[in-house]
Amino acid sequence: MTMTMRRRGFMLVLGAGGAVVALTGCDAMPASAVQPWQGPAASETDPRLRALSWAMLAPNPHNLQSWIADIRDPGLIKLQVDTTRLLPETDPPARQVLIGCGAFLELLRMAAAQDGWQAEIVLFPEGEYPSDRVDERPFATVQLRRDVAVKTDPLFAAVSMRRTKRSVYEPRAPGAETMSALRAAAEVPGIAFHATSEAARVARLSELAILGYRTEFGDAAAWGETARVMKLGAPAVAADPSGIALLGTEVWFGRQLGMLAAEKLRRTDGIAATRAVTSSIEAALGTRTWVWLASADNARRSQLAAGRAYLRLDLQAAQSGLAIHPNSQVLQEFSAMDAAYAAFHREVRVAAPARVQMLVRVGYAARPDPAPRRPVTRVVRA
């Protein structure tokens, strides 16, 4: 979502998957926070760390980067959810977090292949998580095997270009050939790709997305959770380059004037939440194409598959010159969202046990700067 604070010229950019304020001047993005977008150091020889360095760039909810990689066993990567980086208010079963883990796993696989390693992946080697929570058991183990004949993935070339663009898009829809390329990239086993550029249906989906915005941003607990992961100013972003980064000259002035004090950020009637609703509505009403990814069930494996599919969709969008923006709100499983969730699934004709895992705006817009990422050493246990 994009939040525009017109009072005093503020422009904040927020949303699922993290955020960056697109401003110049003082309080700029710390160079260290975007260094991971350069990939692993040339001197890094451990293929696991090389692949993990790229995997850190995967899209994930609120940019929390909820991953732990245990590499204490030679040649093996044990991947776990970081249970200290969850969203219990808006993502109580950690479905969105697990989708982010699926994107991480797919990018790790691609990166390993690029260096000539076959990633042998075992999902949930100690058992699948229950439907209502995650725990410290691994969601996957990855064994790297040297294979000079391993097939590389052409989508990997777009990794450093992928972004989430939350602003208004140009008033034109992608063509049929472009949409076919998105479908081909995203349709992994277990995940179905759907899209529409038909004006009446786009309008109905936009209204449902707006209902989701109003519900989440108007709920004190849900909005408070978003406010808690905001990083105000370059020092905070440099210290922990994750979450929602609020940077720039106007943000700096807002901090000095007390407009961005924590208690004000958390208010659902405050300027931050109000502008989040306003700018998100503006973006949704300007959408010309919606894409959604659905699974036949809501098993944990299906959630990982959805993350894999979304990562591939994201990379293909980058290669095709498209902007992309996941809209998680109307798909969330907290009680205040129940009516919006049901209405959306009726509109797209997806009935339980099937469900929509991702709803995505697709269009054309200038590519934003990258969001902050932690260095791979922050998630590795060695």
* 307-332 pLDDT per residue, tens: 999 999 999 999 999 999 999 999 99
Q: Please tell me the distance from the alpha carbon of residue 178 to that of residue 316, in angstroms, as a whole number.
A: 9
> 10 or 76: whose pLDDT is higher?
76
pLDDT of residue 254 exceeding 80? no
In the block, tokens 């200290």 appear at 84
- For the chain, give the mean pLDDT: 92
Which tens digit of pLDDT belongs to each residue from 353-372? 999 999 999 999 999 999 99
- Measure CA 176 to chain center: 25
- Beta strand ranges found along 165-319 (DSSP E): 191-196, 230-232, 244-246, 289-295
Q: Which CATH class is domain 42-158+369-381?
A: alpha beta
DSSP letters of 62-85? GG---EEEE--STTEEEEEE-TTS
Q: Please tell me the distance from the alpha carbon of residue 198 to that of residue 149, in angstroms, as a whole number.
A: 43
Please report, as a single letter, which amino acid is at residue 52. Answer: L
Which tens digit of pLDDT belongs to each residue from 293-311? 999 999 999 999 999 999 9
The answer to whether 372 and 29 are in contact (CB under 8 A) is yes
Average pLDDT, integer, range 227-241: 94
pLDDT of residue 333 exceeding 70? yes
Token reading at 105: 């796993």
Please report, as a single letter, which amino acid is at residue 75. Answer: G
* DSSP reduced 3-state for 30: coil
> 150 or 18: whose pLDDT is higher?
150
In the block, tokens 């995940």 appear at 191
This prediction's pTM: 0.93
Q: Please tell me the distance from the alpha carbon of residue 18 to that of residue 205, in angstroms, as a whole number.
A: 23
pLDDT of residue 9 exceeding 70? no
Lowest pLDDT segment from 71-75, 152-156, 255-259, 281-285: 255-259
Q: Please tell me the distance from the alpha carbon of residue 143 to that of residue 121, in angstroms, as a whole number.
A: 7
